[in-house]
Structure 1
């Protein structure tokens, strides 16, 4: 799997939720903090996204926003509009009235906090993918397909909507990585062809006995040049990241499979259960067997 697919497969858990909301005239909708990641797509009309201490964000038709840490926020038709409702179970999907209509596609994802990759934790609180002609066509296509299923559900809609929501998340993150590729951090690391090759090697085979030299060779760089560039972009040395990914791989195997601990240890790059158990407990604060038996908490990425 490629890096972004791996990151999402490790962090995503549970079933995503979504709904379409139509509001006419003056309206204001409050979204409390959630233990998950939220998103909004403006399908028709316009609105404002506001949160305390931050400049309001104007959203137009086709704009999408992703909130990876589920922060509290408001959506309003105008900045001086009153809050007329709070998002929650049993929401009214259509409120008719005079004035222009705003149609919003809103939803949430569950992310497991203890399996969250730094690519997700370094995301801004609000990821904005504005609708610009010719940009992010895959994201637009996913939005249109999802809106069609929610507007006019046909046979198989219950099966179609969850994977479409997963595609929406993927394309939102792709859009952000593409927009932020010239900055620093993981967006720049993914865009860097040399460092990206080394990351792919780690993700393709985390159990391999990688060294800084061998990873540098996959990147086509000398040991020193590779170690320096990797640390600058990824934020930690290559072997530290290798250990991090091995532990995330192990956590996913413990969650998703019934493989014996010896198999999980071997596939995570450890030659013995004892060495694996020590490394896992250092990373997660509990032994692998207890982690598997207890299950994993479902919380927002990067939340404390």
Structure 2
């Protein structure tokens, strides 16, 4: 597994949710802030405006993708005036994708132009949220470009098809497609930042744009159970020990061994909740030869013993 794949696989908890929603102008929909979640909006037909609470309105056209990695509250509307000119939304309509993993919803505002939007949300486990997600801006806007990002357009179309016309297997297809959509959004955003020369200084964007540090990160994620040392990770990076350690800590925000331990404990937390693997075997999967040493490290990281953590999942 590479870093970006693991970010998607490990930090999400529960089932992601999505809805295929049709609005009829005039309309406005408020989406409440949901801490511990990430949301997206994709315009499939027509156009609308995204109204952040403390920023200028953003016009969205067909094919535009918006990702809100921190669950920020916002409004979608057919005009920049938003809810001022639209029928009032009932409180239980604030999250049209909240009740089911997948749904098709018709929101009748008026008798005007139709806008179709793919809405969705991912629940994140605060104890496993990767620092990469924490460093993203509140809003990522990927404008539609017919000549670019074919994989993103394909994922959107497949997801829209499943939500528009549910069939046998839709409940399995939708979460997988949502994971793919999230992966493509992050991949494209990081690539665009690099192409624009917008990645400077420290941080995860810079770390993933740095070949030596990326090589070490991939090594950790590929085999967290390996007996990694700073020297061993430096060899993966193609650098000597001291320059590598400084470079890694500057870009990632913590020393190599500190990140290795954090990732091992994060992986262990996921395995505890997702499987009934015996603790001795699980400890070995994350690099501990002693069940006692693993339990001690896990309690230090998560504030509870592994067995208790598993029982409360």
Q: TM-score, normalised by structure 2?
A: 0.87
Query: Is residue 265 of structure 1 aligned with residue 272 of structure 2?
Result: no
Residue ranges of structure 2 left out of the alignment (5+ in a row)? none
**What is the alpha-carbon distance in structure 1 between the residues aligned to residue 176 and residue 2 of structure 2?**
18
| 1:129 equivalent in structure 2 | 142
| 1:76 equivalent in structure 2 | 77
User: Which is bigger in relative contact order (C-alpha 8 A, separation at least 6)?
Assistant: 1
Superposition map of 1:196-275 within 5 A: 196-275=214-293
Residue ranges of structure 1 left out of the alignment (5+ in a row)? 296-304
Deviation at 1:92, TM superposition (A): 4.8
Query: Is residue 284 of structure 1 aligned with residue 302 of structure 2?
Result: yes
Q: How many residue pairs align between the two structures?
A: 295
**What is the alpha-carbon distance in structure 1 between the residues aligned to residue 277 and residue 21 of structure 2?**
44
Q: What secondary structure does 2:176 align onto?
A: helix
Deviation at 1:247, TM superposition (A): 0.7
| 1:302 equivalent in structure 2 | none
**What is the alpha-carbon distance in structure 2 between the residues aligned to residue 155 and residue 251 of structure 1?**
32
Deviation at 1:135, TM superposition (A): 2.2
**What is the alpha-carbon distance in structure 1 between the residues aligned to residue 272 and residue 229 of structure 2?**
26
CA separation of 1:108 and 1:79: change in aligned 2, threshold 3 A: same
User: Deviations for 1:19-63, whole angstroms, at most 9, x for unmatched residues?
Assistant: 111222221100112252211001112212112222222211111
**What is the alpha-carbon distance in structure 2 between the residues aligned to residue 233 and residue 250 of structure 1?**
25
**What is the alpha-carbon distance in structure 1 between the residues aligned to residue 293 and residue 172 of structure 2?**
42
Q: Is the 8 A contact 1:11 1:115 kept in 2?
A: yes
| 2:170 equivalent in structure 1 | 157
Q: What secondary structure does 1:13 align onto?
A: coil
CA separation of 1:160 and 1:223: change in aligned 2, threshold 3 A: same
**What is the alpha-carbon distance in structure 1 between the residues aligned to residue 259 and residue 105 of structure 2?**
46
Q: Is the 8 A contact 2:27 2:109 kept in 1?
A: no
| 1:33 equivalent in structure 2 | 33
Q: TM-score, normalised by structure 1?
A: 0.90
